[in-house]
Structure 1
């Protein structure tokens, strides 16, 4: 059921945003798997079998991203996920990525507690999407609120899905807008 056409991985290091150079750059990464959408062009009531079939892909993508970022899983502090659905699909096909993408990262990162934020949309080749990012253990840590823009020049085609995972190694460079700090996380409920 899962037929991958291509995988795109990107890693970016940010040293400053116009202020002082950080002691350690913020590393952000994304991985996109472009796959065939078996439900394209038709309405299928029971699409849940694909959610189960996507689990190995989610884990493989999470591992690929951590390797590309060249850090230990324990260094990852932020994450997010998303999907771009080709024009012959429906938004619900992108929603199939919620469990396989989110749980893969949570498992790889040591059972992170916070919900994995998500975005999805329908679009054609070259469509870009902003994937929201939050802290892996507490969604209310303001310093880690950001997004990573992702897209693939020739995807998704009308009968494809582009599934996306993103990760970061820390807060925004020069984060200084207050709120709950990562050092203050209680880790009880994934929120604070």
Structure 2
């Protein structure tokens, strides 16, 4: 493993009731986040391949931890997302390098597939700042009921020399979705859109 991990945090939530209505099945979301040392802290580097490799590691590690600690099975997952927050001595491109070129394939491998693009977000921040991890349907980006997100906050990170990297998974969409559009049951999952 090339990532120097300081801390792993996993959070799971289940919305049982919303607006006085029972949510059945409960809307479950699970997120695993890692605080890692930023290998490019405080300096410009043209080649960010080390962070690209770390992204691949994190895609597998964080997805597996989400499943292991939640008890969810890969075939139960309908939504996924990823996000990163770079400490102040890094740059936003460090988050992009960790998230985009190589994180998706290992994540999909753990889940046994996923045709849609993995929704993502990146930002700069510091200890205690909130990172919002977007969620979208893993096989069909147009499933509106699965446009969602999960927040993660770690009180002591990311420090200036760290990156907070997170993956979120969900076996359902939002609680009580009712804005129309393609439903999970109508997905063909061929093009990643419908």
> TM-score, with normalisation over the residues of structure 1?
0.95
Are residue 5 (structure 1) and residue 23 (structure 2) matched? no
User: What runs of 5+ residues in structure 2 fail to find an aligned partner?
Assistant: none
Q: Which runs of 4+ in 1 moved over 6 A?
A: none
Are residue 165 (structure 1) and residue 167 (structure 2) matched? yes
Measured after TM superposition, the shift of residue 60 of structure 1 is 1.4
2:51–2:94: 8 Å Cα contact kept in structure 1? no
2:57–2:103: 8 Å Cα contact kept in structure 1? no
1:28–1:69: 8 Å Cα contact kept in structure 2? no
Write the mapping of 1:1-192 to structure 2, written as runs, cut at 5 A.
Answer: 1-96=2-97, 97-192=99-194
Supply the distance in 1 between the matched residues of 2:14 and 2:66 (Cα, whole angstroms).
Answer: 14
Q: Give the CA RMSD over aligned residues.
A: 1.3
Q: Please, which moves more after superposition, 152-161 or 99-108?
A: 99-108
> TM-score, with normalisation over the residues of structure 2?
0.94
Q: Give the count of matched residue pairs.
A: 192
Between structures 1 and 2, the one with greater strand share: 2
Measured after TM superposition, the shift of residue 184 of structure 1 is 1.1
1:7-46, Cα deviation, whole Å (9 max, x unpaired): 0000001112124313321110111100000100000110
Supply the distance in 2 between the matched residues of 1:80 and 1:43 (Cα, whole angstroms).
Answer: 28
